[in-house]
A and B are shown apart, each in its own frame.
Chain A
Amino acid sequence: MASLAETTPSAEALDAFRLEAREWIAANFPPSLKGVDLSRSALEAPSDKSPDREAWRIAMGDKGWGTPTWPTRYGGGGLSAEEARVLQQELARAGASNPIGGMGVMMFGPTLLEFGSEEQKMAHIPAICRAEVRWCQGYSEPNAGSDLANLQCFAEDKGDHYIVNGQKTWTSGGQWADKCFALVRTDKSKKQGGISFLLIDMHAPGVEVKPIKMISGLSPFCETFFTNVQVPKTDRVGDEGQGWTIGKRLLQHERTNISGGNRMGGGVSLSELAKACVGTDAEGRIADGELRARVARLEMDGRAFAATAMRVAQEGGVSVASSILKINGTKLMQERSELLIDILGMQGLGWEGEGFTDEQIEAVRVWLFGKATTIYGGSTEIQTNIVAKRILGMPDMG
Chain B
Amino acid sequence: MAKLSDEQEMLRDMAQNWVRGESPVGAWRKQRDADTAAGYDQAVYAEMASMGWTGITIAESYGGSDFGWMSLGLVVEECAKTLTASPLIACAIAARAIALGGSAEQQQKYLPAIASGELVATLAVDEGPRHDPTQIATSVTDGKLTGTKAFVAEGDSAGLFVVAAKDGLYLVEDGAGVTKSRRHMVDHRSHAEVRFDGAAADKLTGGGDALLDRILDHARILTAAEMLGMSQQAFDQTLEYLKQRVQFDRILASFQALQHRMADLFGDIEMTRSAVEAGLGALDSMGDNGDLGQIAAIAKARANDSLHRMSREMIQLHGGIGMTDEFDAGFYLKRARPLEAAWGNSSFLRDRFARLGSY
Contacts and interface: CB of A to CB of B under 8 A. Distances in A.
B359 A292 contact: yes
A336 to B, nearest CB: 15
A395 interface: yes
Given A311-B274, A394-B259, A304 B3 contact: no
Contacts of A315: 1, 3
A392 interface: yes
A392 B271 contact: no
A397 B243 contact: no
B350 A297 contact: yes
A324 B268 CA distance: 9
B275 A327 contact: no
Contact of B271 (A285, A308, A389, A395): A308
A389 B259 contact: yes
B141 interface: no
Contact of B262 (A296, A303, A308, A388): A388
Interface string A204-227: 000000000000000000000000
Most B-side CB within 10 Å, residue of A381, A387, A391:
A387
A398 interface: yes
Interface string A374-398: 0000000100110111011111111
B284 interface: no
B354 A324 contact: no
A387 B263 CA distance: 6
Given A284-B359, A286-B359, A392 B266 contact: yes
A3 B142 CA distance: 66
B254 A384 contact: no
A352 B320 CA distance: 57
Contacts of A327: 267
B274 A285 contact: no
A300 interface: yes
Interface string B248-280: 001101111011101110110011111101100
B82 to A, nearest CB: 22
A307 interface: yes
B-side interface size class: 35 or more
B354 A295 contact: yes
B353 interface: yes
Interface in B207-249: 239, 242-243
A293 interface: yes
A-side interface size class: 35 or more
A181 interface: no
B2 interface: yes
A304 B259 contact: no
A392 B358 contact: no
A125 interface: no
A314 interface: yes
Contacts of B260: 381, 384-385, 388
Contacts of B258: 394
A139 interface: no
A396 B274 contact: no
Interface stretch (B39-47, B297-305, B330-338): B297-305
B358 A300 contact: no
B129 interface: no
Contacts of A388: 256, 259-260, 262-263
Contacts of B275: 303-304, 307
Nearest to A292: B354
Contacts of B3: 314-315
A286 B264 CA distance: 31
Contact of A397 (B242, B256, B264, B297): B256
Given A307-B277, A394-B243, A398-B254, A293 B347 contact: yes
B353 A299 contact: yes
Given A299-B357, A300-B297, A311-B274, A392 B239 contact: yes
Contacts of A88: none
Given A274-B359, A292-B359, A396 B267 contact: no
A275 interface: yes
B350 A296 contact: yes
Contact of A304 (B242, B243, B264, B272): B272
Contact of A286 (B1, B294, B354): B354
A300 B242 contact: no
B355 interface: yes
Nearest to B252: A394
A381 B359 CA distance: 36
A132 interface: no
Contact of A324 (B242, B255, B270, B302): B270
B60 interface: no
Most B-side CB within 10 Å, residue of A272, A284, A308, A324:
A308
A391 B302 CA distance: 22
A274 B358 CA distance: 12
B351 interface: yes
A385 B354 CA distance: 36
Contacts of A300: 297-298, 301-302, 350, 353
B9 to A, nearest CB: 14
A244 interface: no
Most B-side CB within 10 Å, residue of A275, A303, A307, A396:
A307
Contacts of B263: 384-385, 387-388, 391-392
Most A-side CB within 10 Å, residue of B250, B273, B359:
B359
A304 B271 contact: yes
Nearest to A398: B254
Interface string A74-88: 000000000000000
Interface string B34-70: 0000000000000000000000000000000000000
A286 B243 CA distance: 47
13 contacts: A272-B359, A284-B359, A301-B302, A304-B298, A308-B271, A308-B274, A314-B3, A324-B270, A385-B256, A387-B266, A389-B259, A392-B266, A397-B255
Given A271-B354, A293-B347, 8 more contacts: A284-B359, A296-B351, A305-B274, A315-B1, A315-B3, A321-B270, A394-B243, A394-B254
* 3 tightest A-B CB contacts, nearest first: A388-B259, A307-B274, A387-B263
